[in-house]
């Protein structure tokens, strides 16, 4: 019997369009001899829309979008009753990025309905999407990282001048200003002075009620893919050559002017240190399945963790499949199947646990 794979994509997120690109690639990579593929489009309003069993190849992301006037709760109920095949081998692949998908909310729902799913669980997803919580965890584990300062919206509104002064006292320009709970470089700006800082803070607060200010790190940024459950493994590191001062949304998904270098140009011993640090970060967040870890390497070969992405992109420009191809020859389709295997492994492990008090 084939496994039914339900690919969730879109979502109520600023990364909605990125998710469409990831989903189309994942759907096309799934072997139809092994899997029945059911695309589940989540609109920008949060409505779940099933496209039914899909056998053709997706040539354009517009094919994956539909309109619906349903209510959110009703649409989820309809998916559970009419689309999810009871009594068959099912798995959910959440190809969702950012809020309402990568932040533990969908993962919590999938835990409640007791269906195996690809990727990280509730805790690691929630901690990984929140840059402040993530950095606090790294600090607890004594992992090296850049200096940072979290700012909450209510504090900013109460006294903007005082907040700016505190930032300038604790951190040195230039800074990166980021929404705490977002990815794909949405709402992120590099600033060199107070005027730019004010504008960047206002923009970041459009996307979140909590933001983070980070000191700029003069270094090259490495991207490392980590996959596994109890025994995670890190890929070779890769990096991008960029024309822009930082890797923003346009550079990632629109301009097409980035050049990947895989494996990254590092000394062999530094490569191994980077891979080891990536695994430490993966374990610190209690990740499962996969993650992409971004690590800075200075000219003096010092290492600093930037962040962990618990559901990295799977677009044509995404590093994750490219890194594993370079590391051990794993193809895109093989990587997708490996992630599905890891999801079932974790699910079976959890199913073996007791959910009621042992009376022996």
Identify whether the C-beta of residue 90 lies closer than 8 Å to the C-beta of residue 84.
yes
Identify whether the C-beta of residue 96 lies closer than 8 Å to the C-beta of residue 42.
yes
Catalytic site includes residue 22: no
Strands 175-179 and 210-215: antiparallel
Which member of 13, 24, 125, 184 is catalytic? 184
Residues 267 and 320: their CA atoms lie apart, in Å, by 21
Identify whether the C-beta of residue 278 lies closer than 8 Å to the C-beta of residue 226.
yes
> Is the link from the previous residue into 30 a cis peptide, with omega within 30 of 0?
no
Crossing angle for the helix pair 332-351 and 319-328, to the nearest 10 degrees: 100
Is position 294 annotated in a ligand binding site? Answer: yes
Is position 208 annotated in a ligand binding site? Answer: no
Is position 299 annotated in a ligand binding site? Answer: no
Q: Enumerate the H helices of 175-293 as residue ranges.
A: 194-204, 249-253, 268-284
Catalytic site includes residue 15: yes
Identify whether the C-beta of residue 306 lies closer than 8 Å to the C-beta of residue 212.
no
In degrees and rounded to multiples of 5, residue 344 shows phi and psi of -65, -40
Which member of 13, 15, 235, 337 is catalytic? 15
Residue with tokens 């870890």: 293
Name the DSSP class of 173: S
- What's CA 323's distance to the chain center, in Å? 16
3-state SS class at 210: strand
Which member of 19, 50, 185, 318 is catalytic? 318
Catalytic site includes residue 318: yes
Strand partners, 227: 233, 290
The length of the chain, given as a count of residues: 360
Catalytically active residues are 15, 184, 318
Binding site: which residues?
294, 307, 309
Binding site for Mg(2+): which residues?
294, 307, 309
């Amino acid at each position: 019997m084939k496994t039914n794979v339900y690919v969730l994509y879109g979502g109520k997120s600023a990364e909605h369009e990125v998710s469409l690109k990831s989903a189309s690639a994942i759907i096309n990579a799934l072997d139809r001899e092994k899997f029945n593929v059911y695309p589940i489009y989540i609109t920008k309003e949060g409505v779940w829309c099933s496209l039914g069993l899909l056998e053709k190849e997706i040539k354009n992301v517009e094919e994956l979008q539909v309109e619906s006037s349903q209510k959110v709760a009703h649409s989820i109920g309809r998916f559970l009753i009419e689309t999810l095949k009871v009594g068959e081998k099912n798995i959910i692949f959440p190809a969702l990025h950012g809020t309402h998908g990568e932040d533990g909310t969908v993962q919590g729902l999938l835990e409640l309905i007791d269906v195996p799913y690809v990727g990280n669980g509730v805790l690691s997803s929630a901690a990984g999407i929140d840059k402040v919580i993530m950095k606090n965890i790294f600090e607890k584990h004594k992992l090296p990282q850049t200096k940072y300062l979290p700012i909450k919206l209510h504090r900013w509104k109460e006294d903007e001048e005082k907040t700016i002064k505190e930032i300038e006292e604790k951190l040195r320009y230039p800074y990166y200003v980021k929404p705490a709970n977002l990815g794909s470089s949405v709402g992120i700006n590099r600033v060199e002075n107070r005027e730019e800082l004010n504008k960047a803070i206002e923009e970041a607060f459009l996307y979140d009620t909590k933001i983070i200010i980070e000191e700029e790190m003069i270094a090259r940024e490495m991207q490392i893919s980590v996959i596994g459950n109890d025994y995670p493994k890190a890929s070779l590191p890769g990096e991008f050559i960029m024309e822009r001062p930082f890797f923003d949304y346009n550079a990632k998904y629109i301009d097409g002017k980035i050049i990947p270098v895989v494996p990254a140009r590092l000394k062999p011993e530094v490569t191994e240190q980077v891979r080891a640090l990536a695994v430490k970060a993966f374990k610190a967040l209690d990740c499962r399945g996969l993650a992409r870890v971004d690590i800075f390497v200075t000219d003096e070969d010092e290492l600093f963790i930037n962040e962990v992405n618990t559901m990295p992109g799977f677009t044509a420009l995404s590093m994750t499949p490219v890194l594993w191809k370079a590391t051990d020859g794993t193809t895109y389709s093989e990587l997708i199947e490996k992630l599905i295997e890891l999801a079932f492994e974790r699910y079976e492990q959890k199913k073996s646990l007791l959910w009621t008090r042992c009376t022996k």
